[in-house]
Structure 1
Amino acid sequence: MAGNSQRRGATRNPGSKKGASVGTGGHGRKALEGKGPTPKAEDRPYHKAHKAKQRAEREAAKRPAPRGKQTPRNRTSGSDELAIGRNSVLEALRMGIPANVLHVFNRIEADDRVTEIVGLAVEAGIEVREVTKAALDGLAGGSPHQGVALEVPPYEYADPRDLLEATAPVRIVVLDHIQDPRNLGAILRSAGAFGASGVVIPERRAAGVTVAAWKVSAGAAARVPVARATNIARTLEDYKKAGVFAIGLDAGGEVDLHESNLLDGPLAIVVGSEGDGLSRLVSETCDQIVSIPIAATTESLNASVATSIALYEAKRAVS
């Protein structure tokens, strides 16, 4: 629009030399009123440059904040976590859990586990600090540490919108207040096994990606992105606007899971909490509530088992 106005405002003067042009003397002023400059490509909502800019901003938000500045809200689990005790620390290092510092009692009697712990930490580039027993006691808060403690940094969560950019077909697991970190870890393991795009968890009153969840995930926590949402129902609405269908898992579903007609498209599989199942608002937001047929003698399935079955059925529907 602005470009057309500018062309009308630059007319050729018949009496001038060929190629010379002059202004309108103010006659074209009205045509230009209210018309600003053409927006930059990155500011036009439907331009690919705009989408690239948004993606870059989300990526920048995930990077650790400079020292002394606050970490963006919802991006991390909040504070460093500790794995304590020789077995726990050794298992964490074997699983490749990211860690900042290994604290070792400066007078520890080394055994095979301690030797392997220190060797794995050095190999992974983790700082090894020799500390006093009092320092370790303080870190462990009174829990038995057996002379070792591993400092694990906060997990960096994705933005729920990031999961929409996964390679098709989009398969997102949405957890409606799962409380047990071991269930979360098992779900992450299944998500990795069946090629899910990622997992969404609530910001509050739900298990996060802790050392316990990471260990149960068997390394899948390093490959499957986990996003944290302020409001699960609102996130589902956003996904639906993007063309993703939402199915909720519930024993009293409208249709059996394997008979659902939504499994072969972009899909969000919504799983309720261990005790209460799907919340009312989240259930009402789903496009379809499905159930998994089980024997009458079995009351219900564990949340992570139900998620695994749903992911398998969804994968089978597009293979």
Structure 2
Amino acid sequence: MAAGRRPGAGNSKKKGPSVGTGGHGRRRLEGKGPTPKAEDRPYHKAHKMKKAAERRNAARPKGAADRGPAKTHNRRGPGKTEDLVTGRNSVLESLRSGIPAKTLFIATRMEVDDRIRETLKLCAEANVPVLEATKPELDRLTEDAVHQGVVLQVPPYEYEDADDLLESVMGQWQDRAQGEDGRPPLVVALDGITDPRNLGAIIRSVSAFAGDAVILPERRSTGVTATAWKTSAGAAARVPVGKATNLNRAVEKAKANGYFVVGLDGGGDVDLPGLKLATEPLLVVVGSEGKGLSRLITENCDQIVSIPIDSAMESLNASMAVGITLYEIARRRAG
């Protein structure tokens, strides 16, 4: 026997395909090809998000920019007339703040903890209906947001007309005949504030310092969403919010009705402690932290007011600036 040969080995080759080749010619295996992308697999979450984005884009008016996938579940798209608060902590905090809830959806057979118990108790006290739903149903309702088995449905906020609201506040002051309760009107208008948490904090400051109302522009502005409601800690139930189709025109009309308009800006000509207009009917306008006040609003202000701070490198966000300003106005009015 030749060296190196195992017993029984021969030189003849076995006909047909060998093990592991997958076959040859017509008998070869085709294979499944490369693995599809996540967004092309119907069972994958990325595929569901892609389809949801396509539905939103198809419903957009022609020429509108593609904003891509939505990043928040507190939104109002086609067919979405309510805001949604999701997650055990967020739902509980919203109910504690007195948010005007419409319905609580809770997953079937979910594990109940102290947060769920308090949530159910608050819903019972506020007569909020509680409905059970399966996890897939909650996934579809929230468009696959993280909900932890709890979803709170909030009806849309009912805004007042900005011009009517400003006129009403002024009329109420005039009817009081400037007697002992003759505190002049104090309204805050927001120029380009897009963060609902800033809006909620501003509404809370307006309530804390005896303000009368908040005015928002129709476009390029956040609204009173569930997030704003929660941040306001219930103040949104006490402070009316109006919407203006054109904020600049609303400012002009306010001036014609007797308001003095002051804008908050870092480069103002008056420091806040020297605001002599504090005891007059005031419309305080604040812009976004990044862009500040728009040019037309700036031109229509009676004064541009700055809050003195120690460092030129620092800045205050909109809600903090409004809180400080309203405190100073309230202090001067009380003195």
2:116 to 105, 109, 114: 114
Structure 1 unmatched ranges of 5 or more: 1-76
Instruction: State the partner residue of 1:133.
Output: 135
**TM-score, normalization by structure 2:** 0.70
The 10-residue stretch of structure 1 (294-303 or 183-192) with the greater mean CA deviation from structure 2: 294-303
Deviations 1:86-135 (A, max 9, x none): 11111111111001111111221212211211121111101111112221
Deviation for aligned residue 1:304 = 0.9
Q: Is the counterpart of residue 225 in structure 1 residue 240 in structure 2?
A: yes
Q: Percent identity?
A: 55
Instruction: State the partner residue of 1:316.
Output: 331
Deviations 1:131-189 (A, max 9, x none): 12221111111112111100000011122222442344100001101111111111111
Q: Is the counterpart of residue 162 in structure 1 residue 156 in structure 2?
A: no
Instruction: State the partner residue of 1:35.
Output: none
CA contact (8 A) 2:209 2:326 kept: yes
Q: Distance in 1 between matches of 2:274 and 2:116?
A: 53
Amino acid at match of 1:97: I
Correspondence list, 1:50-89, <5 A: 79-89=81-91
RMSD over aligned CA atoms reads 1.4
Q: Distance in 1 between matches of 2:333 and 2:167?
A: 18
Q: Distance in 2 between matches of 1:123 and 1:259?
A: 48
Instruction: Decide whether aligned partners of structure 1 residues 297 and 233 sit closer, same or farther in structure 2, where only a CA change above 3 A counts.
Output: closer
**TM-score, normalization by structure 1:** 0.73
1:210 to 225, 243, 252: 225
Instruction: State the partner residue of 1:179.
Output: 194
Amino acid at match of 2:302: D
Number of residues paired by the alignment? Answer: 243
Deviation for aligned residue 1:298 = 4.2
2:299 is paired with a residue of what secondary structure? Answer: helix
2:106 is paired with a residue of what secondary structure? Answer: strand
Instruction: State the partner residue of 1:265.
Output: 280
Deviation for aligned residue 1:297 = 4.8
1:189 is paired with a residue of what secondary structure? Answer: helix
2:276 is paired with a residue of what secondary structure? Answer: coil
1:102 to 101, 104, 112: 104
1:318 is paired with a residue of what secondary structure? Answer: helix
Q: Is the counterpart of residue 292 in structure 1 residue 307 in structure 2?
A: yes
Structure 2 unmatched ranges of 5 or more: 1-75, 174-182
